[in-house]
Amino acid sequence: MAETKSPAAFDVVIVGAGFAGMYMLHRLRGLGMSACVFEAGSGVGGTWYWNRYPGARCDVESMQYSYSFSPELQQEWRWSELFASQPEILRYANHVADRFDLSRDIQLNTRVTDAKFDRTMRRWTVRTDRGDLVSARYCVMATGCLSTARVPDFPGIAQFAGKTYHTGHWPHDGVDFTGLRVGVIGTGSSAIQAVPVIAEQAAHLFVFQRTPNFSIPSRNGPMPDEYAQSWKHDYPALREKARHLRTGVLNNPNDISALEVSEQERRRIYDERWAAGGTNFMAAFNDLIVDQRANDTAADFVRDMIRETVRDQSVAELLAPKNHPIGTKRICVDTDYYATFNRPNVTLIDVRRTPISQITAAGIRAGDVEYKLDAIVFATGFDAMTGALLNIDIRSDGTTLQQKWDAGPRTYLGLMTAGFPNMFMITGPGSPSVLSNMMVSIEQHVDWIADCVAYLRAHGEDCIEATQDAEDAWVLHGNEVAHQTLYPLANSWYMGVNIPGKPQVFMPYIGGVGTYRDICDEIAAEGYRGFALSARAQTLAAE
């Protein structure tokens, strides 16, 4: 879009007003820095603004999936359920925006299209789809890990006469499926939450499954007052403890091997975790994600639970995952997912055996069968971790980020990438991000970045850049750690496998939230080891 304005100048430009961008703005204000935030949505909340599909809720407990930076905020906010629903989390995001007066620096309905670094001026110039032009010393990408929705390129998609929806772009006024024949494509976390709710409304629901997933019942319910109070009473200590755990979630880890106990004892422990519900199931033993034999015991247990729940054993067999170790694709959490397949109005279709060949005017064709539909829900996921970043034309020294990451993302700590000075990523590839409680990881990154820019200011520096050596070493370390686990055995979006042509590398850092935090803190304490720091004045004097 043409523009004639000269750029407005800020200390920092932030891309995205989800939980990461909002807290970043708050911290920068606290440092007396000027910042502006661009947000593509018409409201704050990021992933919770976009993902409004039926049944959407968080699979980390509400008492833990919330900001910890403000003691007042965490005391005053009341969650109504153990696992908060999307509308409630969005209300919370809006409450935070109001409470900390964030909105005056957030420009909504504005998508950042380009960001260019000028090495002479040591500033980023950022453009938007509305013609804004902004210059800032630092650019912070708070663009989210799962914010670029993906619809596979099914032939005939445009000719479908009914309505289509993607879970990650759900209409704001909801969708009424009453009396309709609905198809859901995909059986990841989003579908597993949406399917039971849509099944209650639809005349008939067809679930098109390519790969079954392991799902644990959430056992969600109203938040008991005493439970909320027990957290609030001890919040500072509990939050601190969570920051040093592997996933950033207090999940009652059992620090013994699944192979150390008798079969009976193992079964007792799995039964207990299954009855308690939620992702804590994966903390039943300490080796489920590193030892195939240990993993098999947990996977067998869940497969048995599926067979117990689903009456038609041929459907149960289709729903029971057999091709990836449990937990190596994101473990799902549900309310009545497997039981939904006992309903007479729900049909499971195995599109592994008979792939979807076409979307027709009347529905979906898989094999020889055309399923007549009034609506199709694409629960087909996201171009994860890199999609939102690479959708922006990011350039420095004549190179684009797209070119630099041609063979997969390369970062130092998931915070910066060499050759792109003064650009920070929040929960970028190479950090624990999607393998952790995102709130814990977001706060850790925001605090690290805020401390970093404050340090630069205090030391008269205005430029920071990851060195190539440090980045190479971090990428190597990340790969080594990932390959000590079972994660790379799954065709997951963690590996980029869901996007045709995307380089297949394990993107998040799996070393654990606590270990990672210690590494980041040590690096900062050593004057930002592995980063090159400089000031423009010094550079000019040297020339």
Binding residue (CB under 6 A) for ligand N01 from 106, 282, 379, 482: 379
**Cα–Cα dist 286/281, whole Å:** 11
| Beta strands in 54-155, from DSSP E residues, in sequence order | 106-107, 112-118, 123-128, 133-141
The residue to which tokens 């055309």 are assigned: 370
Q: How far is the CB of 351 from ligand N01 (least distance, A)?
A: 5
Closer CB to ligand N01, 125 or 167, in the complex: 167
The residue to which tokens 């620090």 are assigned: 255
Question: Is 190 near ligand N01 (CB under 6 A)?
Answer: yes
Closer CB to ligand N01, 110 or 187, in the complex: 187
**Cα–Cα dist 152/52, whole Å:** 20
Closer CB to ligand N01, 191 or 442, in the complex: 191
Closer CB to ligand N01, 145 or 298, in the complex: 145
466's tokens: 């990851």
Closer CB to ligand N01, 7 or 152, in the complex: 152
Binding residue (CB under 6 A) for ligand N01 from 62, 187, 422, 433: 187
The neighbour count for residue 103, using CB atoms within 10 Å, is 17
Closer CB to ligand N01, 277 or 530, in the complex: 277
Beta bridge partners of 207: 184, 348
Closer CB to ligand N01, 34 or 357, in the complex: 357
Map the footprint of ligand N01 across residues 229-288, applying CB under 6 A: none
Q: How far is the CB of 154 from ligand N01 (least distance, A)?
A: 7
Closer CB to ligand N01, 383 or 471, in the complex: 383
Map the footprint of ligand N01 across residues 455-514, applying CB under 6 A: 493, 498
Q: How many Å is the maximal CA-CA distance in the chain?
A: 78
531's tokens: 């980063």
| Beta strands in 303-455, from DSSP E residues, in sequence order | 332-334, 346-350, 356-359, 363-366, 369-372, 375-378, 393-396, 399-400, 423-425
Give the sign of the dihedral formed by CA 493, CA 497, CA 503, CA 504.
positive
Per-residue binding letters, 423-462, with ligand N01 (x by CB under 6 A):
-----------x----------------------------
Closer CB to ligand N01, 394 or 442, in the complex: 442
Q: How far is the CB of 380 from ligand N01 (least distance, A)?
A: 4
Binding residue (CB under 6 A) for ligand N01 from 12, 28, 35, 146: 146
Q: For ligand N01, which stretch binds (CB under 6 A), given 7-15, 38-46, 189-197, 367-375?
A: 189-197
User: Is residue 348 exposed (0-12), middle (13-18) or buried (19+ Cβ within 10 Å)?
Assistant: buried
Size of the site for ligand N01 (CB under 6 A): 27
499's tokens: 């996007």
Binding residue (CB under 6 A) for ligand N01 from 18, 45, 183, 381: 381
530: left (phi over 0), alpha (psi -120 to 50) or beta: left
- The residues near 73 (Cβ < 8 Å, ≥ 6 apart) are 67, 96, 99
CA atoms within 13 A on the CB side of 165: 28
Q: How far is the CB of 294 from ligand N01 (least distance, A)?
A: 22
Closer CB to ligand N01, 186 or 428, in the complex: 186
Q: How far is the CB of 60 from ligand N01 (least distance, A)?
A: 7
- Pairing type for strands 123-128 and 112-118 reads antiparallel
Closer CB to ligand N01, 64 or 190, in the complex: 190
Q: How far is the CB of 528 from ligand N01 (least distance, A)?
A: 31
Question: Is 419 near ligand N01 (CB under 6 A)?
Answer: no
Per-residue binding letters, 38-67, with ligand N01 (x by CB under 6 A):
--------------------xx--------
Question: Is 351 near ligand N01 (CB under 6 A)?
Answer: yes
Binding residue (CB under 6 A) for ligand N01 from 7, 41, 152, 503: 152
Binding residue (CB under 6 A) for ligand N01 from 148, 220, 380, 437: 380
Are 149 and 169 in contact by the 8 Å Cβ rule? The answer is: yes
Q: For ligand N01, which stretch binds (CB under 6 A), given 186-194, 198-206, 312-320, 415-423?
A: 186-194
Give the sign of the dihedral formed by CA 483, CA 486, CA 491, CA 496.
negative
Binding residue (CB under 6 A) for ligand N01 from 191, 359, 385, 390: 191
99's tokens: 């409470």
331's tokens: 């473990």
Per-residue binding letters, 207-226, with ligand N01 (x by CB under 6 A):
-x-xx---------------
Q: How far is the CB of 164 from ligand N01 (least distance, A)?
A: 14
Are 419 and 538 in contact by the 8 Å Cβ rule? The answer is: no
The residue to which tokens 């070393």 are assigned: 511
Question: Is 330 near ligand N01 (CB under 6 A)?
Answer: yes
Closer CB to ligand N01, 283 or 423, in the complex: 283
Q: How far is the CB of 186 from ligand N01 (least distance, A)?
A: 3
Are 494 and 508 in contact by the 8 Å Cβ rule? The answer is: yes
Q: For ligand N01, which stretch binds (CB under 6 A), given 181-189, 199-207, 313-321, 415-423?
A: 181-189
Question: Is 167 near ligand N01 (CB under 6 A)?
Answer: yes
User: Is residue 526 exposed (0-12), middle (13-18) or buried (19+ Cβ within 10 Å)?
Assistant: exposed
Q: How far is the CB of 275 from ligand N01 (least distance, A)?
A: 20
Question: Distance of CA 314 to CAs 349, 371, 437, 517, Å?
Answer: 11, 20, 36, 46
427: left (phi over 0), alpha (psi -120 to 50) or beta: left
Which residues contact ligand N01 (rule: CB under 6 A)? 58-59, 146, 152, 167, 185-191, 193, 208, 210-211, 330, 333, 351, 356, 379-382, 434, 493, 498
